[in-house]
Structure 1
Amino acid sequence: MSYNTREKWTHRLHEIIFEADTKAGKTFDVILIFSIVVSVLVVMLDSVAEYRAMYGDWFYSIEWFFTILFTVEYFLRIISVKKPSGYIFSFYGLVDLFSILPTYISILLPGSQYFLVIRILRVLRVFRVLKFTQYLIEVNQLQKALASSRRKITVFIFTVVTITVIVGSLMYVIEGTENGFTSIPKGIYWAIVTLTTVGYGDISPQTNLGQMLSAVIMIMGYGIIAVPTGIVTVELSRAQPKGRSTEVCRYCSREGHDSDAEYCKYCGGKLNA
């Protein structure tokens, strides 16, 4: 096979497997997503003892069928890109790999095949398949907002951890072991459950001072819950949406490029190459 022929073949293969703008690409992805959903359902049903007893052999055969199918698809994806490592170590590349490994590992470690439910993450491709570019824009905005607010959120989490340690220690001193606060970690556990307004009820203060402190923490919890929401909301309002295409770079296998982009903004590779 000559270089030009191979290049045309891999380009066509990449177009079908990675792109959703063509009829063939959309058909491929729809079939792929259907197969993923069915394979995940089979794994889930196989975990039910009654169904496994009746249809265990069928489940086993279907599981191997999809594993082989996804293995072939995985290697075709590697072949179709110009820089295989860009795809292999990308988010979807790792998900694709981990979605087939459990079945092979189950030969040596029975039961590990149930980790195949990770295949459901591959259904995320539905955004690209159905051309939900507006959702891709929203995802990009959310990622940008979270990245911009990571320092503020880190400080917030550190503050919350500090509060729970202090309050948990105080409750240990105030309530003591006779009221269920047998250690400082136990008090910290109570503080976390109370501050997050979960309130399991498995341990609660019995003294007046402890109940007063508990009331303060519960009221504080309602205020604290709103803080990270406000931080992310501010960053979201600053993020300016831009038009995005569904095109996947053949070099680094990343998407989210501007609709009028000619080169990949991540690696500089030429799009549609």
Structure 2
Amino acid sequence: MTQPHPPHPEQRERLGPGPAEWQKRWYDVIFEHDTFAGRTFDFALFVVIVVSVIAVMLESIESYRKAWRFELHVVEWIITVLFTIEVIARLACVNRPARYLFSFFGVVDIISLLPSYLMFFLPGAQSLATIRTVRLLRIFRVLKLAHHVREGQTWLLSLKRTWPKITVFITVIMCTIIILGTVMYLVEGHADSGFDNIPESVYWAIVTLTTVGYGDIAPVTPLGKMIASFVMLLGYAIIIVPIGLFSAEVMSQRRTQDPDNVCMSCGFASWDVDPNFCSKCGEPMEQSPAAS
């Protein structure tokens, strides 16, 4: 007798004992991805999300807004009503609606509805409807891209573990920016170069240290230019610090997992994604059974 398959990660909200027949049918359509009805629903949801985002973008263009304002509003409200019905249906066919509502996808579903309803109180809030693009993350589960989901989890865990170090780094940078801004105010404050106060000077330090360089404020004195040159070089130097911390943690996390590929010739384990050849012996790589 065949053993039942383990539950899908999104099946944590599976119905309890004795659900109504309509709840079973809705659950199969909305949450299951292995049935024709479920795949059709997911594809339709994907199309509606894309249409919604395109409509919001077109409405932000003045020429389209003048020519198609009413039509774009009708499309937006039709999609909003469809999304509202979908969220209600999801809550109706799970055993613990509150648990789903406060899950990641539940929060995203609710937030994606808010802009359309907030427009009654905050004009222009409907532009925030582009947040619905986050709902496209479901496509990873629909297409069975488990490897991509695992990579995303690795990145989140790495960010969580490096966050204390990054927090210390950001604190040091903030202190440095305030000091540099104050120094530039003392040096350039009387030269009519835009450093009229310390907050303006701190703004300049942030823009310069991050190598953005808007150019709206610039030093004119020789000493100010020397300090600015130092801040620019410092900005390039510190960029690698958080990247290095995060990259090292990602590699550490990946090496605690099973390797994605193992060379059948020399046995070298590779964590690279689908390499064609072994980086050690140069022979063609074959995917390890654990990764398949």
TM-score (norm 2): 0.76
Q: Shift of residue 108 of structure 1?
A: 5.2
The whole-number CA distance in structure 1 between the counterparts of 2:237 and 2:122 is 47
Tell me how far apart the structure 2 counterparts of residues 57 and 209 of structure 1 sit (CA, whole Å): 58
Structure-2 separation of matches of 1:188 and 1:174: 13
Q: Which residue of 2 aligns with 1:121?
A: 134
| Rounded Cα–Cα distance in structure 2 between residues aligned with 1:28 and 1:146 | 34
Would the aligned equivalents of 1:137 and 1:242 in 2 still touch at CA under 8 Å?
Answer: no
Q: Do residues 218 (structure 1) and 232 (structure 2) align?
A: yes
| 1:110, distance to aligned residue in structure 2 (A) | 4.5
Residue among 138, 159, 164 paired with 1:146: 159
1:208 and 2:222 correspond: yes
Aligned equivalent of 1:25, options 33, 38, 45: 38
Q: Deviations over 1:157-202 (max 9, x none)?
A: 0011011111111111112232321111111111111111111122
TM-aligned CA deviation for residue 33 of structure 1: 0.7
Distance 1:219 1:242 in 2: 41
- The residue type equivalent to 2:231 in the other structure is I
CA 1:199 to 1:109, structure 2 compared with 1: closer, same or farther past 3 Å?
A: closer
Distance 1:78 1:137, change over 3 A: same
- The answer to whether the Cα contact below 8 Å between 1:137 and 1:241 also exists between their aligned partners in 2 is no
- Cα distance in 2 for partners of 1:102, 1:31 equals 21
Separation (CA, whole Å) in 1 of partners of 2:28 and 2:179? 57
Q: Map 1:1-273; keep pairs closer than 5 Å.
A: 4=18, 6=20, 9-107=22-120, 109-178=122-191, 179-239=193-253, 240-241=256-257
- Inter-partner Cα distance in structure 1 for 2:209 and 2:22: 59
Which structure 1 residue ranges, 5 or more long, are not aligned? 244-273
**TM-score, normalised by the number of residues in structure 1:** 0.80
* Shift in CA distance, 52/134, structure 1 to aligned 2, threshold 3 Å: same
- Which 5+ residue runs of structure 2 have no aligned equivalent? 1-16, 260-292
Could you tell me which amino acid in structure 2 is paired with residue 173 of structure 1? L
Alignment partners' CA distance in 1, 2:247 and 2:154:
11
SS in 1 for 2:219: coil
> Structure 1 pair 139/184, CA: closer, same or farther in 2 (3 Å)?
same
CA distance in 2, matches of 1:109, 1:229: 38
Higher relative contact order (CA 8 A, sep 6+): 1
| Larger displacement relative to structure 2 (197-206 or 156-165) | 197-206
Shift, 1:11, TM fit? 4.0
Q: Distance in 2 between matches of 1:104 and 1:198?
A: 36
The share of aligned pairs that are identical, in percent, is: 44
Write the letter of the residue equivalent to 2:42.
D
Q: RMSD of the alignment, in Å?
A: 2.1
After superposing the two structures, state which structure 1 stretch, 34-43 or 56-65, moved more: 56-65
Report the CA distance between 1:242 and its aligned residue: 6.7
Q: In 2, distance between residues paired with 1:148 and 1:81?
A: 33
